[in-house]
Amino acid sequence: MAKLIGKNRIKTAVFISGNGSNLKSLIFFSKKKISPIQISLVISNNKRARGLNYAKKYKINKFSIIYKNKKNADFLILKKLKKNNIKLILLAGFMKILSKNFIISFKHPILNIHPSLLPKYKGLNTHERVIKNNEKFTGCTVHMVNKKLDSGKIILRKKIKIYKKDDAKTLEKRVLKQEHKLYPKAIGKFLSNL
């Protein structure tokens, strides 16, 4: 996979909904010589997502879509992916669940980063639930996306200790720092095994 330099990098789309801090770290990763990906497209379901500024700054094509009609949104996104020859999707804080039809229609890998140690705490509000249940550890997981929410094959996980002083906010910040390191590692591992 180290041979995938320059023109041979995998054309990748990153899906975001908010600040885009994972997108930013993925852009930095994609600029490295050893990186197997080229981020060619950023897609957001939120036209005001601050993360879109990174796409603008680094001159990456961007596309925002409002999910009023899921079927229509799927169709338009798939069309955009095809037009840009995208072979890999990275979900990075994308707050919409991809439909089964979308996952079947896109014939290439889709990866996601989730802020818990899957299979525990699938879905939303993970940090609040982790704190409420007095867990000793939490972390983040990069996994393949399949038709069931947060249930695809796990690629890599990073575990961190929860401190007594932690609340959902402090935990979110600490987990996010680990996400930025874990996602590029997991992408490298996943693509080298293809």
108 is catalytic: no
Q: Which amino acid is at 156?
A: L
The first and second tokens of residue 122, run together, are: 């699938």
Token pair 């299979």: residue? 119
The first and second tokens of residue 62, run together, are: 């961007």
Q: Give the contacts of 95 (CB within 8 A, at least 6 positions apart).
A: 17, 18, 45, 46
Q: Which residue among the candidates 108, 114, 127, 143 is catalytic per the annotation?
A: 114
The residues annotated as belonging to the active site are 114
